[in-house]
Amino acid sequence: MKRIALLFVGILGLSLLSAGAQSVIVKAGYNYQFSNVQALKSGGRSGWQAGVGYQTETVSGFSFQPELMYKVSSVNVQDNANLRISYVELPLNVQWGPDLLIARPYLLAGPYLGVKVRNALKGNWEGIGETTRKDIVDHLKGIEYGVSMGIGIDVFKFQICGKVNWNLGKLSEIESFPTLNNKQRSFEISVGLRF
């Protein structure tokens, strides 16, 4: 499955390079991961992302912005202990918004696909043995996928964007850790520089 995902990312990347994009965007931002509304209230975990994107010409208010991002997420496994997971992620965002000359506010939506490249357990592990910790790491799924919706604005050479991601798959099937069994959600905000 990892090979298929990497092949997909490679083919899409080559097709984008030949598509004649309007702008290349270098961007970075903050993300906040939570598994449900209750987890959001009681405290999720923060992370970050950075990468590049291409923004196509705007036609009738619509543009297409695929990105290649390195994303670090953090998931609460138990009190004072969390799991940090790194992904190479490919969001495929469709934007719509009017061009107001000095700014272009827009709505965005689209799917994303991520391939896990690294994970680490951090924190104070009370009552959880080394074997169980190894099982948590070894049984994480290698692919994440989902949909995003958000808003943003292009102002001069800058792009500011906020969006919510809904992961459609579980992180793991380990029943003893419900936060890994839930479908994760995240809020992210990013700032980009357009060239």
> What does the pLDDT look like over 50-99, one tens digit per residue?
999 999 999 999 999 999 999 998 877 766 777 888 999 999 999 999 99
Q: By mean pLDDT, which of 68-82, 127-141, 159-173 is the weakest?
A: 127-141
For the cut 60, the answer to whether the pLDDT of residue 133 exceeds it is yes
Split into its structural domains, the chain has a count of 1
Q: What is the pLDDT of residue 41?
A: 45
Residues 6+ apart with CB under 8 A from 48: 28, 29, 30, 31, 71, 72
Q: Which domain holds residue 109?
A: 2-194
Confidence bin at 18 (pLDDT 50/70/90): very low
- Distance separating alpha carbons of residues 180 and 177, to the nearest angstrom: 6
CB 115 within 8 A of CB 126: no
Structure tokens at 27: 């961007």
